[in-house]
Chain A
Amino acid sequence: EVQLVQSGAEVKKPGESLNISCKGSGYDFPTYWIGWVRQMPGKGLEWVGIIYPGDSDTRYSPSFQGRVTISADKSVITAYLHLSSLEASDTAMYYCARQAIGDYWGQGTLVTVSS
């Protein structure tokens, strides 16, 4: 069974950095892109970026470029999202999803940024 399991909820202060993880199982992890999607409270889906764990090819949304780093560790079948210089507006649910078509999604990680 394919599963993507994300790390737990985070509470951060403005200016801090965020690291969340997404562990994939039940499929050949290196051969599928993993994407990250943000959803602010009551809003739509925002594409953040994506990684191909096989060779770590990575692409980012211009909206997050410079603040976001996506990485993956094949040995532990896990992808990571690092977001720096957090602001209150980064408060959101963050999802990982197996790409290209988004057939499997993680359960989401709720991130709250507040002073």
Chain B
Amino acid sequence: EVVMTQSPATLSVSPGERATLSCRASQSVSSNLAWFQQKPGQAPRLLIYGASTRATGIPARFSGSGSGTEFTLTISSLQSEDFAVYYCQQYNNWPRAFGQGTKVEV
């Protein structure tokens, strides 16, 4: 089964700065990779699918890149509402799998 590894576990940034989150798959998942944002007490929200396609209503400051085993989520200029936990998930292989998450904090 595919193991998803995210880094770093915690990312400390200031508002207005750029944030770069990484996700690595133990084997190729092609471009079948999604990114989710989760805030306390809320269900996850889809940000990116197909590795680089923004979901409906997601601001342009969120961008995704990569394919195969290496993926990146970039938030170009962090806003206060972006401080949250971010998860990647592969949907290429069974069983599906999430990364362990990256917490973006001030």
Contact = CB atoms under 8 A, between A and B. Distances in A.
A106 B96 contact: no
Contacts of B56: 103
A102 B97 contact: no
A103 B95 contact: no
B99 to A, nearest CB: 8
A92 interface: no
Given A44-B98, A59-B95, A62-B1, A103 B89 contact: no
B95 A62 contact: yes
Interface residues of A, number: 23
Interface residues of B, number: 25
A105 interface: yes
B69 interface: no
A84 interface: no
Contacts of A59: 94-95
12 contacts: A37-B44, A45-B98, A45-B101, A47-B89, A47-B95, A47-B97, A95-B44, A101-B49, A101-B50, A102-B44, A102-B49, A106-B43
